[in-house]
Structure 1
Amino acid sequence: MAPNTFKLPDLGEGLTESEVLNWKIQVGEHVALNQIIAEVETAKAVVELPSPFAGIVQKLHASAGEVVPVGGPLVTFGDEAAESDTGNPRGESGDAGSGDRTPTLVGYGAPATSGHRPARRGRASQNQPSATVLPAATPQASAHNSQAEDSGARRTATRSTPPVRKLARDHGIEISSVRGTGADGAVLRADIEALIGAPQQDMQPEPATTGTVAGDRRVKISAVRRATAKAMVDSAFTAPHATEFLTVDLTESMQLVEKLRKHPLLKDVKLNITTLTSLIVTRLLGTYRALNSRWDAANDEIVEFGSVHLGMAVASDRGLLVPVVKDAQSKSLRDLAEELTQIIELGRAGKLSPAQLSGGTFSITNVGVFGVDAGTPILPPGQSGILALGQVKRRPWEFEDQVALRHTSTLALSFDHRVVDGKEASEFLAGIGAVLEDPGMMNIFI
């Protein structure tokens, strides 16, 4: 059977590349059909890749930490018989006669019997230190390779990926002298990060860079952070944002949530004020359709969406994620609560698929969980409205002609002023507030 090469598939939403986080397989291992072979990180999610082939792993085409373009090779498989015929599937030993090169985990190395070893860089001068532990505060250009003393030795470039090389260069680390822990000695991002901030060795102290303090560190921009930053910049400088605020008395809504939690049909469901607000929002958007629209400049149109695909901002270790509940306007309180709970848990665990992170038409973010009273949220690209919920606090409040302690919260609605007029935004926000203050008004406003 001819070898089969699995290429990185298009994971959706126009993504052009993914970073290999880790391999679940190794060269020489037998892999079954649909077995998970690797985890890759896109700009939106961490995705587990199942194998479309069954067979013996002949070659891994990328190391952990390497960015692979869509369509680029990932793994080459062969059948077990073909591997046995080679007598050396792992490239760990064997005759390298006739100038053949022995297969290694990634790429090809020198013949095992040649006796040649990669040329090692000589020590650089003080003006161009080649130590692997330059402090992060004093990045310098990498030193040039010195001529190998052994004239028969072949100069071999250090295996690494462009992002790893850039990380090393930014920190003044000479990558050729780093001992890589990856496949075939490849230098991984973790190898460079382990050296950042390490004590200086065999170097004269250098003056600190202006404006730099001890303890500074550099953090690699993750795919999620990069995508979020681009989206926020595009949104902020494309859509004219406007934000309105409304502080509401949530006492009756809080009481309703507590009552619903005890109901036999809902006692196994996670309910909170965000769930109730989400239900109100999805119903009201059927009336205030401009808030569930997008500006289509290319076609000189405003697209009013027929369904509400509700985005819910989630803080995760990978950064801000906005998973989406599709067709939220048609879901019951129970169904909405279950789906919100599921996507929030998956988001925090980093297990959302790209499909679950795309297609939103209106979003909600709860900054109150961090003890914040209010904020001015930025619109997700392609959306015309986003609602921020502030923390629920007991405050002195006018109630039935007296001052009483009531549960209150501040709502903040940001909207695209090209699509939504102030009047419609104000009525929408006031409608949310009216129902939250008196849930019995739901039948009137929704």
Structure 2
Amino acid sequence: MKKYVLTIGNSALSIISSTVIVLPFMFFLRISATHTVSSVLPFVIFYTLRTTGIFLIRGIKTSLNSASLLKISLYSGTLGSIFGIIGSFFPELYIISGFFLGLSAAWLPTANTSINFLNIKNNLLLAKNKYFTILTLILIGYILFIPSKTSFIIFFLFYTVLYLIAIITLPTLNQYAVDSHDLESYSYQYLGLFVVFFVLIFSLRSSRLMKNIMQFDYFIWGSLLLAIVLIVSKLFFNRAPQRNVPNLLSYISIINGALGNYLFLFASLYVAGYYGHHDLFTRFYVPYIIGIVTAPIINKVIAKKNNHTIFIMLFIGLLIMFFRPLFPWGILSLSITKGCLNLKLNHIYMTQDNLPSDKRIWVKNTIQSTGSIIYQFIIMITGSLIVSDNNHSIKELLDITSQGIPSNYSRALMIEWNLVTTTILLIMIMFYYFFYLLTYIKINR
């Protein structure tokens, strides 16, 4: 009986780990639809913490390992879900919900992945109950179809139950042993990145949802200042937080992060701007989530192949994005590819013996998040440049990315914007082959 309960708990933990980035994002975004300060803040706080939280935990002096971080993440997510239930009656409490769920989304997938890998190595991995998993995913799909106001309380109630069930697995973490040499020292440089990225992303997200031009200007100038500081630091000081990661692997991680933001930020903006917000669910969320669910299955087929197979899939998926009728299929293809690439990177990082064993996934997700954040800045800056070049104001860009019904201009903007952002990713993939060739020549000299 105890073993059965643990499999249910492990299934719940796996589901949360896979969905905590996507589902709260969707529901907090629904809550922000009124574009008031109190409705926008929960989404902005959730998204900002979810994106930058990995820098915070690596930048503060702490002896936390993946097991203790998982415990904190589960308790934090439980609190966030409970405040989400209460927020259905007292909307101001959604802000607290966004705070705790943001921390959980930032840390739980990283901690859970680290523990799973080391448990596999030590033959301690718990089984999962596939029937519970299938039923839960069906219920989540049902909740997504419920009208917004009703779906809020049902979702947060359902997520609270999932977190409570996942907490059942915590006693098994006592088997998770971490030696001191398996940890790493903290770095104030990560703490600095956390502060800078937090401020910039907060300004960007809040400016979009509140249609605040001044905040968007702060984001633009802040991004330019950050770029200058990073360039000067690299040229004259050559200091960066120690990663001990091969350059090619680091670059692939950056591409993985950029791909994630291209999918989750730009693809959703494109669908909303070209087709309208009412089409987001069918043209974006459905193919995106199907891709996430099916990626592990497809990855088993290509797991024994090299990285080139995944990059060919990525290249084809990006080409599909140029054809408007096939855009949802492009999202599906890229979502599957993103999942396969992420799984491949997890395995590669866990073989990096020059990194602390407990922190290998932490390192990978830090580099990946850096790529995601920087590419997010590139997307929004290129969007503003396109608008300005067409003699339109930044306010129109903010209106277009927030309006529910598309216009002729929003459609024209999205076509041009898609051409630029997709091309940038394609160029990044071409550079991957360039880096690969240089690495191959260096090794075989």
Higher relative contact order (CA 8 A, sep 6+): 2
Bigger strand fraction: 1
Higher helix share: 2
Q: Who wins on radius of gyration, i.e. which is larger?
A: 1
TM-score w.r.t. structure 1 length? 0.22
